[in-house]
């Protein structure tokens, strides 16, 4: 039996289904992410301020979607653990390497920056004063983002060659090159946590944000340079826009699969 509703995959993007219709919001989030939309019942705080409650009836997390089929009633989402979810509309929020986007035949055009973002948590000698510090260096900026516990999260944009070199250094030597690059703004670099190297490439979608009974949102739809610092904002606005369309469609009692709904996506 197909439930009225739509499935989300990824980090539990959001739709604020209207209370006037029964929707099952099925969200897949690999490690459960709490957050404004992660709780069972949460007040939707989409930028549109729609005071709708999300009846988050089913939350499948720590599972991966591995296949997706289109049928006359909607789409089926096959999970790695064998479960099959059915929904009238699938919204993919599974990030820049979205497998669902490829399954839906939506292509991307993009380009490599030959840059990486080195991301780590560091303990500094001086207090960050809840200030984000950014230093523009030859290969790219070094940003210290303040964390509540007094540490900093760094995003160090480097050429891929340099980032591989820095990643291979023992912690003590890594802290030394980091302190040098920081210009001493936060004093000595005392400790560094696990360091992640993220290759930076950007893309836009070649054709469309939507397929049949399918839409992408967030980084699955557009990936921009992390230093733009706009990825989350753009993703939230995608989610709010889709939520608004779902509510309007609900109010007019139109099926989510109506061509007019797809056209307005
Ligand atoms: C170094 C760095 C710094 C950044 N700094 C900023 C910043 O300061 N400000 C800002 O606004 N943005 C910033 N961004 C961008 C921001 O992180 C992204 O835009 C945002 O995380 C996108 O959210 P999303 O939910 O669309 O995708 P993601 O955060 O990528 O989440 C996708 C989720 O889907 C899951 N998933 C993938 N495939 C499947 C599957 N098959 N089944 C189920 N789940 C799946 C993944 O595990 C992941 O949890 C930064 C990015 C980087 C890399």
Distance between CA atoms of residues 65 and 221, nearest Å: 18
**Quick one: pLDDT at residue 263?**
59
**Quick one: pLDDT at residue 260?**
56
The residue contributing the CA closest to ligand 1 atom 22 is 219
Selected residue with higher pLDDT from 25 and 260? 260
**Distances in whole angstroms, Cα of residue 249 to Cα of each of 42, 66, 171, 244, 245:** 22, 29, 55, 9, 6
In short, whether 28's Cβ falls inside 6 Å of ligand 1 is yes
User: How many angstroms does the Cα of residue 253 sit away from the middle of ligand 1?
Assistant: 33
In short, whether 116's Cβ falls inside 6 Å of ligand 1 is no
Q: Quick check: 258 pLDDT over 70?
A: no
In short, whether 115's Cβ falls inside 6 Å of ligand 1 is no
Selected residue with higher pLDDT from 100 and 21? 100
Q: Give the predicted TM-score (pTM) of the model.
A: 0.76
Please report the atom of ligand 1 found closest to the CA of residue 63. 43
**Quick one: pLDDT at residue 40?**
33
**Quick one: pLDDT at residue 200?**
84
Average pLDDT value for the chain: 77
Which positions ≥6 away from 9 have C-beta within 8 Å? 27, 28, 65, 77, 90, 91, 92, 93, 94, 100
User: How many angstroms does the Cα of residue 110 sit away from the middle of ligand 1?
Assistant: 17
Please report the atom of ligand 1 found closest to the CA of residue 93. 26
In short, whether 65's Cβ falls inside 6 Å of ligand 1 is yes
- Give the tens place of pLDDT for each residue, 203-255: 777 668 888 888 999 999 998 888 788 999 999 999 999 888 888 888 888 77
Give 261's strand partners: none
In short, whether 218's Cβ falls inside 6 Å of ligand 1 is yes
In short, whether 153's Cβ falls inside 6 Å of ligand 1 is no
Q: Quick check: 43 pLDDT over 80?
A: no
In short, whether 94's Cβ falls inside 6 Å of ligand 1 is yes
Distance between CA atoms of residues 45 and 60, nearest Å: 22
pLDDT band at 147 (very low <50, low <70, confident <90, very high): very high
Q: Quick check: 22 pLDDT over 70?
A: no
pLDDT band at 37 (very low <50, low <70, confident <90, very high): very low
In short, whether 232's Cβ falls inside 6 Å of ligand 1 is yes
Ligand 1 pocket test, candidate residues 10, 38, 93, 132, most atoms within 8 A of CB:
10
pLDDT band at 48 (very low <50, low <70, confident <90, very high): very low
pLDDT band at 118 (very low <50, low <70, confident <90, very high): very high
**Quick one: pLDDT at residue 257?**
63
Q: Which of 1-15, 86-100, 221-235 has the lowest mean pLDDT?
A: 1-15
Section 190-200 average pLDDT: 92
Distance between CA atoms of residues 221 and 117, nearest Å: 20
Ligand 1 pocket test, candidate residues 30, 31, 95, 153, most atoms within 8 A of CB:
95
Backbone φ, ψ for residue 66 (5° rounding): -125, -15
């Amino acid at each position: 039996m197909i439930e009225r509703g739509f499935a989300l995959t990824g980090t539990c993007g959001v739709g604020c289904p209207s209370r006037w219709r029964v929707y099952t919001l099925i969200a897949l989030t690999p490690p459960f992410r709490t957050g404004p939309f992660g709780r069972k019942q949460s007040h939707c705080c989409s930028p549109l301020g729609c005071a709708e409650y999300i009846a988050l009836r089913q939350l499948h997390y720590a599972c991966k979607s591995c296949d997706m089929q289109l049928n006359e009633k909607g789409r089926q989402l096959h999970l790695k653990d064998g479960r099959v979810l059915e929904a009238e509309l699938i919204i993919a929020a599974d990030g820049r390497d979205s497998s669902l986007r490829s399954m839906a035949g939506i292509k991307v055009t993009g380009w490599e920056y030959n840059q990486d973002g080195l991301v780590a948590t560091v303990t500094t000698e001086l207090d960050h004063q809840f200030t984000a510090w950014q230093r523009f260096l030859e290969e790219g900026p070094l940003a210290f983002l303040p964390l509540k516990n007094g540490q900093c999260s760094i995003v160090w944009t480097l050429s891929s060659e340099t980032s591989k070199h820095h990643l291979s250094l023992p912690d003590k030597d890594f802290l030394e090159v980091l302190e040098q690059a920081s210009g001493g703004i936060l004093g000595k670099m005392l400790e560094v946590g696990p360091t992640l190297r993220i290759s930076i490439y950007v893309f836009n979608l070649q054709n469309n944000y939507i397929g049949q009974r399918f839409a992408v949102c967030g980084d699955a739809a557009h990936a921009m340079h992390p230093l733009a610092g706009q990825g989350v904002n753009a993703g939230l606005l995608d989610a709010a826009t889709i939520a608004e369309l779902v509510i309007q469609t609900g109010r007019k009692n139109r099926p989510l699969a109506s061509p007019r709904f797809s056209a307005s996506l």
